Structures are given as structure tokens and as C-alpha cells.
Amino acid sequence: MNELELKYGCNPNQKPSRILMEDGDLPIEVLNGKPGYINFLDAFNSWQLVRELKAATGLPCAASFKHVSPAGAAVGLPLTETERRIYFVGNMPLSPLACAYVRARGADRVSSYGDWAALSDVCDEETAAVLAMEVSDGVIAPGYTAKALEILRNKRKGSYNIIKIAPDYMPAAIEHKDVFGITFEQGRNELKIGADMLGNIVTRNNNLPDSAKRDLFIALITLKYTQSNSVCYVKDGQAIGVGAGQQSRIHCTRLAGSKADRWWLRRHPKVLDLKFKDIGRPTRDTTIDIYLTDEYEDVTADGAWEALFTEKPPVLTEAEKKDWLTCLSGVSLGSDAFFPFGDNVERAHKSGVQYIAQPGGSIRDDNVISICDKYGMVMAFTGIRLFHH
């Protein structure tokens, strides 16, 4: 089959719509559901990310995509007890692949609502069980066990989108895209993210441990498939903040940093001790997100908290948040293009960033380096831009 007709394009008025191959058959099989235009955009972008991340790290990998950018990406490292609590998986059995998806979705659970999931390995029963609990549009993987397929086919009243992709599929070296009736043509971005990219360390501190190298690989590969401008914060094998599609580099850094901060604040004892009613996972995620902002007292005024909690939670003060965030450290950061000003490093420092990988090449590189040196950071110039549009 070399084409698949779709219901419509990005919007219901955009018809007709299809995906097709000019030569050969499509490298995918729809095992369930009726994926749409945006579903396929998410599926193919997210699959590239997890495939490349698996090749770079040797670990099972997962990504959680929304509107053609990752809300999160991660490798399959075990979860701590605290992570099991903040990601709401309790004592569920979790395979390495399931851990990867739980952690990928855990980067920004509010943004991952209704996500597209990508898995680097054959989907197993444990991973399917996690997907079954979450609000998700679909999944792409190189295969599914019989039990996993049974679980997923029962999701969303039998309409959950399940795509199987040929793991050995390699696209043509030249890619095309039509915009306003005009065809754009370029070579595919086949750049391999590897250790050689981190060899040009320009700061006084040049101590880059293996764990930081792994996290910088995750950041850079995630950025390769994130709408630019983009910045990614990573800690312990998972993205914890992705700032995508911003017109300003500092706004990318602030957006991703604010997400990283909320990820860390979810571990605060007051958050872990919140006494929720049976309100469902999405409402619980949104409530925690609001609890961590200065809007919380307004939203829950006049007894509104009673619909969410069994007892009124104590306010998490700004002073408590600030104090808790000082404990966040060892974070790695990647940027898809150079930092034009040192203000990006200043903001990154507030969210515990210790390691940075960015292309370099700004006329103010000396200033950016000096800010890194002020905080004892390690920064590598990759010499490579990673724009994605």
C-alpha cells in the first residue's frame, strides 16, 4: 500500500487529505483506530526521536508528543519511590520501556494530556497498561506483544490509534515539502549526535561525567525533533523542560526552565501530601499545576477546594518554593542554536543547570562563557545548529 486516505488535514475544512509514498509502500501498518493528519505528523517525528535516542544510549526510549514537538522524552531507567508517586503509577510492574514512557510523560503531564506516544522497542504488557491509564491519542512502535495489543485495542472504546512501523525503514536522502504551492527541497538532517559533539569544552570547568554526556545527548536529540527555537533541560535520563517554537532564545530558556521548576516542585512534601478526592488523573495533574502557581488561592477561594481535596491544603509559599528550587542541581541543558546573551545562562542557573551544550558562534560568546565560569558550569560548543521546522 503506497497511500492512505485521511478524514481531513490539520483542520476539518482541509480536504482531501492523505499520506503517500511516491515509490514503494508505506512503512507503517495501522493496527487499530483511524489516525489523522496531525497524528501521523506526531507519529513520524516522535519515532525518529526514539529511534535515534535508542541508538545513542543503548536504552529503551519513549517520547510524548503534542503538535509536532515533544512534551517529554526519556530513557528506560528505573523509577524511584518518589517518582512513582509523582507520576501516579504506585506499585505497578514497570518494564524498562514502561519506565521510559512514564518518565517521558512525567516531564510535563499537563502538556502531555492527549499526547502521541512513541516507543523505541516492541510495546510490552507493562507499557500498554500505563498507556491504558492515560489520556492519549495513539502510539507508534516497531511492534506489540499480543497482550499489549489486546489492552490497547480496548482503550477509548476501541478507537485508540495504534501504528506499527518497520524498524528498518530508511527514508530517501532528499525530502520535500509544499508551502503555498511551492515545493521546498533539502537533504534530510542525518546528523548523528555523539560524543565528538561534546569535545570542545570552552569553560574553565571541563569535568563532564558520563551521566551528563548521556543527558546532553537526550537534550540534543530531543531538540533535533522540536519546533525551533528550542531549549531542553534534562536530568537523570529524562527531559524535564522543553521550550519549543519561541521567537526569542531567552523565552525558550525561560519557558523550559519554568517547566523544569514545576517538575521539581512536584516532589515538595506539601505536594506529595495533597489529599485528593477521586477526581481522575487529568484533573489531578491540572490541580497540582495550579497549586504550584500564585493563582491557587484565587482558584480555590470560597470553598472551591472542597471539590478537589478531602481536606484544605496548606499554601505552598513563594519562599518555600524558592528554597526548594535551590536543591535542584546537576541539570543538563541543550540549545538548538547559540546563546546570543549571557542572560540565558543566568536563567538556566536558577533551575540547577550545571552542563550546557550549544552551537556557539555568537559575537558575545565570551560573555556567555564568563557567566558559565561564574557559576562553575561546564559548557561545550557543538558547532552544530539543530533547527527543525
Whether residue 158 sits in one domain with residue 279: no
Catalytic residue, from 45, 161, 229, 344: name it: 229
Q: Has residue 387 been placed in a domain?
A: no
Q: Has residue 345 been placed in a domain?
A: yes
Whether residue 342 sits in one domain with residue 258: yes
Q: Has residue 185 been placed in a domain?
A: no
Whether residue 218 sits in one domain with residue 305: no
Whether residue 296 sits in one domain with residue 206: no
Q: Residue 295: what are its φ and ψ, rounded to 5°?
A: -85, -10
Q: What mean pLDDT, rounded, does the chain reach?
A: 95
Catalytic residue, from 39, 54, 66, 268: name it: 66
pLDDT exceeds cutoff 80 at 242:
yes
Instruction: Give the mean model confidence (pLDDT) for residues 183-193.
Output: 93
Length of the chain: 389
Cβ-proximal residues to 305 (8 Å cutoff; 6+ apart), any chain: 312, 313
Instruction: Report the sign of the C-alpha dihedral through residues 89, 147, 117, 214, in that order.
Output: positive
Q: Which domain holds residue 95?
A: 3-165
Q: Does 229 participate in catalysis according to the annotation?
A: yes
Pairing of strands 61-66, 115-119: antiparallel
In total, how many domains does the chain have? 3
pTM: 0.96
Q: pLDDT tens-digit profile of 89-138?
A: 999 999 999 999 999 999 999 999 999 999 999 999 999 999 999 999 99
pLDDT for residue 305: 83
**CATH number of the domain where residue 333 is located:** 3.40.140.20
| Residue the block writes with cell 482541509 | 14
Whether residue 348 sits in one domain with residue 280: no
d(CA 268, CA 325): 9
Question: Bigger pLDDT: 240 or 296?
Answer: 240
Whether residue 233 sits in one domain with residue 125: no
Question: Bigger pLDDT: 306 or 221?
Answer: 221
Q: Has residue 177 been placed in a domain?
A: no
pLDDT for residue 293: 86
Q: Has residue 309 been placed in a domain?
A: yes
pLDDT for residue 73: 98
Catalytic residue, from 67, 251, 270, 350: name it: 67
d(CA 255, CA 81): 28
Q: Does 259 participate in catalysis according to the annotation?
A: no
**What grid cell was written down for 288?**
497540582
Catalytic residue, from 13, 91, 157, 389: name it: 389
Whether residue 339 sits in one domain with residue 303: no
Q: Where does a domain end: 102, 130, 165?
A: 165
pLDDT exceeds cutoff 80 at 218:
yes
Strands across the sheet containing 61-66: 28-32, 161-165, 136-141, 115-119, 61-66, 69-75, 238-244, 230-235, 331-335, 353-358, 378-381
**What grid cell was written down for 124?**
510490552
Q: Has residue 372 been placed in a domain?
A: yes
pLDDT for residue 251: 96
Whether residue 237 sits in one domain with residue 260: yes
Q: Has residue 388 been placed in a domain?
A: no
Whether residue 358 sits in one domain with residue 217: yes
Least confident among 63-72, 87-96, 158-167, 293-302:
293-302
Q: Does 66 participate in catalysis according to the annotation?
A: yes
Whether residue 257 sits in one domain with residue 205: yes
Amino acid (1-letter code) at residue 331? V
Q: How far is CA 123 from CA 62, 99, 111, 147, 236, in A?
A: 11, 12, 23, 10, 23
Q: pLDDT tens-digit profile of 46-94?
A: 999 999 999 999 999 999 999 999 999 999 999 999 999 999 999 999 9
Whether residue 109 sits in one domain with residue 19: yes
Angle subtended at Cα 6 by Cα 116 and Cα 188, rounded to the nearest 5 degrees? 60
Q: Does 349 participate in catalysis according to the annotation?
A: no
Q: Has residue 182 been placed in a domain?
A: no
Beta strands in 204-352 (DSSP E): 230-235, 238-244, 331-335
Element (H, E) at 141: strand 136-141
Pair 142, 11: CB distance under 8 Å: no
Whether residue 215 sits in one domain with residue 290: no
Percent of the chain with pLDDT over 90: 92
Q: Where does a domain end: 150, 165, 180?
A: 165
